[in-house]
Amino acid sequence: MAQGTPGTISAPAPYTVITPGGIFDFFYNINADYCKSSYAYSVYLATELPTSMSPSNQFMSGYYFGRYDAENYPAVPYPTNPAPPNLTMPNFAQPQGGFGGGNPATNATFYVLVLEEWDDCEGTIGRKIAMTANPIIYNATST
């Protein structure tokens, strides 16, 4: 897939319909260019977006897909954990393991969300952290 606007999700497109257990395309355009470096990014499915940055027992709810990196010189010349081209949508109607019970949802707007660690020539104390999200429709039964 061609590189899109840095810091955006190219796939899935906004409002893509995805079924529980369905396989969907995924591509994130890292924040990397001349004088910009991307270090790693984490991918989530947020079933509700955070409403505050205050410490909380439940900051948001959702599902963690994983932490990935992508080639960009000089920060990550050889990626060790590139994102797969496809991800599998969890089935929330099924028990989530441990004491985590399932809960069905239909026609729900969820968000494929990415948190990326990056920096540029301006520098910062620590790394900059960017967030982007594309809405998707989970388990659509009507259009």
60-97 pLDDT tens trace: 899 999 999 999 999 999 999 999 999 999 999 888 88
Domain ranges across the chain: 8-138
Tokens for 126? 């620590």
Fold (topology level) of 8-138: Immunoglobulin-like (2.60.40)
How open is the CA angle 64-45-20, to the nearest 5 degrees? 105
How open is the CA angle 83-84-87, to the nearest 5 degrees? 110
Residue in the block written with tokens 């393991």: 97
Residue 143's pLDDT band (boundaries 50, 70, 90)?
A: low
Task: Evaluate if residue 138 carries a pLDDT over 90.
Answer: yes
Strand order across the 128-138 sheet: 16-18, 128-138, 108-120, 36-48, 61-68
pTM, rounded to two decimals: 0.92
